[in-house]
């Protein structure tokens, strides 16, 4: 009878060990799948980091271009303002021309009088 009990116990233990090994095998497969998935995720992260770096460089280049354009626009605005400051309106020009003519006439008259007085 003891051998019958031993056989039953051996079969029970064997069956439990087989179940345990099956579970361990399943866990190992899951672990390997997770490792593979983790590796793929890391590769994807590296690709994304590389893309982000490229985009940062592109953004920096765009910002530099914008700063240059902004500087150029500011320079052009300043030139335009300087031209407007130095520019004389049509009325002012005609006033200046008439004033210059008046002064020239007065100067001519003065020179003529001086010349006549000398003779």
- Kindly list the domain boundaries of the chain, sorted by start residue: 2-87, 89-119
Q: Which residue is associated with the tokens 């994304």?
A: 48
Res. 54 pLDDT band, cuts 50 70 90:
very high
Model pLDDT, residue 2? 56
Confidence at residue 119, expressed as pLDDT on a 0 to 100 scale: 55
Coil/strand/helix, residue 119: coil
Predicted model pTM? 0.50
Q: Is 57:64 a contact under the CB 8 Å cutoff?
A: no
């Amino acid at each position: 009878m003891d051998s019958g009990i031993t056989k039953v116990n051996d079969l029970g233990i064997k069956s439990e060990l087989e179940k345990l090994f099956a579970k361990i095998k399943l866990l190992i497969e899951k672990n390997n799948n997770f490792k593979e998935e983790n590796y793929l995720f890391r590769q994807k992260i590296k690709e994304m980091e590389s893309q982000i770096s490229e985009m940062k460089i592109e953004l920096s280049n765009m910002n530099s271009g914008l700063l240059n354009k902004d500087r150029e626009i500011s320079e052009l605005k300043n030139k335009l303002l300087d031209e407007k400051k130095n520019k004389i309106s049509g009325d002012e020009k005609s006033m200046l021309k008439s004033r210059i003519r008046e002064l020239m006439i007065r100067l001519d008259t003065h020179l003529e009088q001086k010349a006549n007085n000398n003779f």
